[in-house]
Structure 1
Amino acid sequence: LQLAKTQIEALQHTGVQVSINDFGSTLNSKNLLNHIQPDFVKLDKAYMTNLNNDDNFTATQALVSDIQQFDIDIIGGYIEAPQEVAKAWSVGARYLQGYYFQKPTDKLMLNHDEQV
Structure 2
Amino acid sequence: MERTYQERAPSRAEIDALSGPALLEFGTNWCGYCRAAQPLLAEAYAGKDEVPHYKVEDGPGRVLGRSFKVKLWPTMIFLKDGKEVARVVRPASAQEIREGFAQIAG
TM-score of the aligned structures, taking structure 2 as reference length: 0.28
Structure having the higher helix fraction is: 1
TM-score of the aligned structures, taking structure 1 as reference length: 0.27
Over alpha carbons, which structure has the higher Rg? Answer: 1
Q: Which has the higher contact order (CA 8 A, sep 6+)?
A: 2
User: In proportion to residue count, which structure has more strand?
Assistant: 2
